[in-house]
Amino acid sequence: ASALHYLHREDVVHLDVKPSNIIMGAPPRLIDLSIARPVEVAARLDYTVGTDRYLAPEQADPPRSGVPGPPADVFGLGATLFEAHAGYRPFEDGVTDPEAPVERRWPQLLDDPRPLPESTPDELAKPLLACLDRVPDNRPTAAELAEAFEPLLAGLPKPVLGGFRPGRR
């Protein structure tokens, strides 16, 4: 979320936020800016750009479903985090036939996300589901999302400094 916040402040949209474009480490890194565009250029897209399973509705079917911009990246991050938490993607896979109606190719155009596991705390569920709202203006900004996740991150166990060393007692 922080990386997206930075890109959006620079008027750049990533347009392909998905698990394989996030490198987990300390800190995590968002990679592959190969289809990133300035916000004003992304707003003029009239064709699909990105990876089907993580596309915001406005990316899947522009301009009919909206204008691709920073909220599309938040949708992709929400779909990625949903999958990381739940172990399954928020939407069924669409059909791959390019002649199929757009709603069959991208279920996220009409379908609500699948339910999260019952054990999901509200502090996680609410921002995740807000990211997946079909209406771009209803999604949080990347900065708001980072802020919403701060208390959850602060509550995680801290790593042991120095780590495990064999033979150490």
Told to judge if 16 belongs to the known catalytic residues of this protein, a careful annotator would answer: yes
SS3 23: strand
User: Cβ–Cβ contacts within 10 Å for residue 146, how many?
Assistant: 17
11, 16, 61, 97: which one is catalytic?
16
Reading the block at residue 150, the tokens are 């701060």
Exposed, middle or buried: residue 48 (CB in 10 Å: 0-12, 13-18, 19+)?
middle
What is the pairing mode between strands 12-13 and 37-38?
Answer: antiparallel
CA geometry: angle at 108 spanning 104 and 63, to 5°?
A: 85
**Catalytically annotated residues:** 16
